[in-house]
Amino acid sequence: MVNINLLPPENKLKIKQAKQSANIFSICLVAVIILVVLGFILKTLKNDLLGPDLENIQKQIEAQKTELSSYNELENQALLVNDRGKLSSQIESQKASWSQILQDLINDVPTNVQVTTLTADLAKSPNFVLQGTTDSDRDAIKFKDKLENSAFFKDVSFKSSSTAQNQTPGSSSQKLSFTLEFNLEQKSLNQSSSKGVK
């Protein structure tokens, strides 16, 4: 069989171009359909396979955030305990060791001196006011010198002194009443002092 094409060449060219356009359009249409199918498949895979993993990872992240916040609370509590420890150490270092102070004061009292009153107030100056009696000026001065040489006391001075007849029956001697004022130099023997401890 013989085909005879009696179409003019311009029409042949148009038909050829239309076929090429139809081929290109069909190829593009197939590519778009393939892309849509691949997108659908990928979305399904993401939802079915990656979705649970993503949810697990998000739950783990939330758990880590919660754990981290609990660590932050523990850190804040540790800082609070540390600050309170420093404050208690500071208060402890400023606290006066009254047993040491009074023992030193007792050791400084000469045998002929009797302490009648002792008032102590670390908020005022002088910190201590001591009243006592003795038989002679020498014992009162000796007591004052011992207090000055003590590691605990400073600024020792006589506030007043007076003599009175001894009220003991059968005794004709005089008693010296005196008042000493002094300040606390250090609050315990653990603190450094320029004076030596007796």
Last residue of a domain, one of 39, 68, 94: 94
Residue 171 lies in a domain: yes
Predicted local confidence at residue 42, as pLDDT: 87
pLDDT band at residue 164 using 50, 70 and 90 as cut-offs: confident
Q: How far apart are CA 151 and CA 11, in angstroms?
A: 127
pLDDT above 90 for 31: yes
CB 183 within 8 Å of CB 154: yes
Domain with residue 127: its CATH number is 3.30.1360.100
Q: Greater confidence, 54 or 40?
A: 40
The CA-atom distances, in angstroms, between 11 and each of 19, 20, 21 are 12, 14, 15
Predicted local confidence at residue 30, as pLDDT: 94
Q: What is the DSSP string of 75-141?
A: HHHHHHHHHHHHHHHHHHHHS--HHHHHHHHHHHS-TT-EEEEEEE-TTSSSSEEEEEEES-HHHHH
Residue 3 lies in a domain: no
| 175: Cα separation from own chain's centroid | 58
Instruction: List the domain range (segments joined by +) for residue 18.
Output: 9-94
